[in-house]
Amino acid sequence: MNIFEENINKITALILKNQKFLKLKNLNEFKGIVVESPPEQFNYDLSCNAGLVLGKMNKIDPKELADKIKHLILKNLKDFQDIEVAGPGFLNLKLSKQSLISNIDKILKNKKTYGKKNSNKNYNIEFVSANPTGPMHVGHCRGAIYGDVLANLLKFNGNKVTKEYYINDYGNQINNFAKSVFLRIREIKYNEKFILEADLYPGEYIIEIGKKIIDSNKKEKFNDFAQSLELLKKESLKHSMNLIKLDLKELGIEHDNFFSERKLIENKLVDKAINYLKKNNYVQEGYLQPPKGEADKTWKKIKRLIFKSTLFGDDTDRALQKNDGSWTYFANDVGYHMDKVNRNYEYLINVLGADHTGYTKRITAAVNALSENKVKLNCKVCQLVKLYKNGKPFKMSKRAGDFISAQDLLNEVNKDSIRFMMLNRSNDVELDFDFDKVLEKSKDNPVFYVQYSFARISSLFKTLNKDLDDQIRLDPKTFTLNDNEIKILRKVFEWPKIIETASTKYEPHKIPYYLYELATLFHSYWSRGNDDQSFKFIKDGKIKKIETLAIIVLIATVIQRGMSILGVSLPNKM
RNA sequence: GCGCCCUUAGCUCAGUUGGAUAGAGCAUCGGUUUUCUAAACCGAGGGUCGUAGGUUCGAAUCCUUCAGGGCGCGCCA
């Protein structure tokens, strides 16, 4: 249920029915007419711009038209007790008691699904996809949480969602990774000094992986790299993926599907995809221009296969073959996305780090080419995370291999705080993450603040010896709400709209913001009893007003739904 | 040189896909507790929405110009 949608439907139906009386001719579309929350100072439940929009289309004075609509509504719809025409022609509407009660009842009867925007599409979200050459670092966490919460959100609405991880387990980087492990094994087993070369991985974890491989391959001598290569690749990959999966698990993230680049090649999916593009004349043999900007010494003018991605909005066509004729990373990714298209997803989402901004156009172009524009790929880029400690930038050391890992973060900060804070910004802007702030138990820390409101509610119900799921019956004869309660109720009514925009625009950050605002209203409501005893909720162990209970259950319900989408826990006691 | 993102209060940011007097938090100043959890609340000050134009009844929001910041720009992955 969505109070704005319901009422826009009622109002537009009424206008349609009375269009002659209103002298309206242009009624073919009601586009642009909305019902939303009016600014707080007006003290109304809903506002509607029908007078403005229709007045403009039909060349009627908006105020005059709004006034007619006002009387029409008051006469025909019982949902409203008071309507004013305000400003340039807005209708501000106040819900009747009956309507308030029935709206509250509807939510109380459908707590688990309150806010759900029904949808049953098939989504694939690819996220994290960190290189399988070591554990996750802090930078990966933001995209990881963004993708996971997006998945939760879309699932909450009823969609089918596959959470996918693309493992880049093919090509040079894996050989270099295996070589690094090999050299570390030589170091451990034969005391040979590990000399760091370019392209090798220096991290401490390589030593750990080496030790594990030695333990599980006691007979292996590791004398010849070429001979051990296949074994080393397989084993090293297994261990590094385990590290990554462990990190993900601690962040509360579990993927449904891990898609291997190596298998993609082995199954000839790239060739199939390229053949498809060839058939449709989207590729050609040719030469590309040298890259602009910094000169590239390795650039060679060689005839090669090129994807005509400019046909689909890219800035330049893209190479599918390297100098030696083998497929580029991009070509492999084309094969991968062909497979996604063939798996019949309706929507594809790729969550990428800021360093992949330049990549989005070509892969989006590829999906358009592969699906004849039927499947929509949406690349969402998460901007950088800047770490702070005590308000000062926490610099990542430039020493090779020394990076701040997801584990480092998890050692200091709990999962709940990381998840909430990483989403407390739009993915489009850089995010400051302060190690100390997220640990604070105060209003400065939004995670805490929201959790605390729920703890207070739990405590209240404990005092009352009641359960959040107990039935609440509101009596129309005595029903009354004070200022705080009305404000809260209006906020609660906005919840479905938050879900809708968060899920259609892929903007989960709206949820933490909203929850913070709701928590603020709750704390304010609660604290009023400190100033004035008459605003205390309880007297002699019993609730004074049944409406209070209803309002508080509504708050708790929305906070529960919101936090469960965010994947953040809600302690009963703090 | 090109692409993407950003520019809103001293600081960090929201701003419901064109609406009403632009909102939070932090910081600053002042107030509230023998408690249903003060780990909280209440109040005050603080703005030329980067610049210059355009579109219209109406722009922080849409279009164009310019300036500033970030990321990226290989036939690496």
* Residue nearest B12, CA–C1′ metric: A432
Round and report the angstrom distance from CA (A385) to C1' (B22): 28
Closest nucleotide to A88: CA versus each C1': B20
Round and report the angstrom distance from CA (A530) to C1' (B34): 12
A81-124, pLDDT tens digit by residue? 999 999 899 999 999 999 999 999 999 999 999 999 999 999 99
| pLDDT(A297) > 90 | no
As a whole number, mean pLDDT of residues A480-496 equals: 95
| pLDDT(A282) > 50 | yes
Strand B, nucleotides < 7 Å from a protein CB: these are: 1-7, 12-21, 23-27, 32-33, 35-42, 57-58, 70-77
Q: Mean pLDDT across chain A, nearest whole number? A: 92
Round and report the angstrom distance from CA (A429) to C1' (B72): 15
What is d(CA A265, CA A479) in angstroms, rounded to the nearest whole number? 68
Q: Which of A11-15, A181-185, A248-252, A332-336 has the lowest mean pLDDT?
A: A11-15
Q: Which of A62-76, A434-448, A502-516 has the lowest mean pLDDT?
A: A434-448
| pLDDT(A213) > 60 | yes
A532-561, pLDDT tens digit by residue? 889 999 998 999 999 999 999 999 999 999
Q: What is the largest CA-CA distance in chain A?
A: 95
* Residue nearest B58, CA–C1′ metric: A88
Round and report the angstrom distance from CA (A490) to C1' (B23): 17
CA A48 vs CA A84, A160, A187, A424, A470: distances in Å: 11, 34, 73, 30, 36
Count of beta carbons in the 10 Å neighbourhood of residue A187? 16
Closest nucleotide to A519: CA versus each C1': B40
pLDDT of residue A395: 64
* Residue nearest B73, CA–C1′ metric: A358
Handedness of CA A555, A558, A561, A565 (dihedral sign): negative
The answer to whether residues A385 and A431 touch, using CB atoms and an 8 Å cutoff, is yes
pLDDT of residue A498: 96
The answer to whether residues A255 and A128 touch, using CB atoms and an 8 Å cutoff, is yes
Is A446-566 the same fold as A3-95? no
Round and report the angstrom distance from CA (A382) to C1' (B27): 29
Residue showing tokens 């009627």: A60
The answer to whether residues A123 and A159 touch, using CB atoms and an 8 Å cutoff, is yes
* Residue nearest B11, CA–C1′ metric: A391
Per-residue buried b or exposed e for A442-466, using 16+ beta carbons within 10 Å of the residue's own CB: eeebbbbbbbbbbbbbbebbeeeee
What is d(CA A381, CA A143) in angstroms, rounded to the nearest whole number? 8
| pLDDT(A26) > 80 | no
What is d(CA A55, CA A57) in angstroms, rounded to the nearest whole number? 6
Beta-strand relationship, A257-260 and A160-167: parallel
pLDDT of residue A398: 40
Closest nucleotide to A89: CA versus each C1': B20
Closest nucleotide to A49: CA versus each C1': B19
pLDDT of residue A29: 66
Round and report the angstrom distance from CA (A6) to C1' (B60): 30
What is d(CA A230, CA A227) in angstroms, rounded to the nearest whole number? 7
pLDDT of residue A57: 82
Closest nucleotide to A171: CA versus each C1': B77
Round and report the angstrom distance from CA (A162) to C1' (B54): 46
Q: Which of A222-236, A297-311, A476-490 has the lowest mean pLDDT?
A: A297-311
Residue showing tokens 């390589």: A206
Round and report the angstrom distance from CA (A315) to C1' (B52): 29
Round and report the angstrom distance from CA (A41) to C1' (B22): 14
pLDDT of residue A28: 61
As a whole number, mean pLDDT of residues A38-52 equals: 92
Give the pLDDT band (50/70/90) at residue A400: very low
pLDDT of residue A27: 66
pLDDT of residue A294: 64
Round and report the angstrom distance from CA (A412) to C1' (B62): 45
As a whole number, mean pLDDT of residues A138-144 equals: 93
A310-346, pLDDT tens digit by residue? 999 899 999 999 999 999 999 999 999 999 999 999 9
What is d(CA A424, CA A537) in angstroms, rounded to the nearest whole number? 32
What dotted CATH number matches A446-566? Answer: 1.10.730.10
Q: Coil, strand, or helix at residue A167?
A: strand
The one-letter code for the residue type at A219 is K
The DSSP line for A355-399 is: GGGGGHHHHHHHHHHHTTT-SEEEEEEEPPEEEEETTEE-PPP-S
* Residue nearest B14, CA–C1′ metric: A513
Closest nucleotide to A544: CA versus each C1': B36
Pick the CATH number of A3-95 from 3.40.50.300, 3.30.1360.70, 2.40.10.340, 3.20.20.10: 3.30.1360.70
Closest nucleotide to A90: CA versus each C1': B20
Round and report the angstrom distance from CA (A97) to C1' (B25): 35
Looking at per-residue pLDDT, the higher value among A259 and A386 belongs to A259
Closest nucleotide to A48: CA versus each C1': B19
Where do the structural domains in chain A lie, given as residue ranges?
Answer: 3-95, 172-250, 446-566
ipTM above 0.90, yes or no: yes
Count of beta carbons in the 10 Å neighbourhood of residue A429? 11
The counts of H helices and E strands in chain A are 18, 17
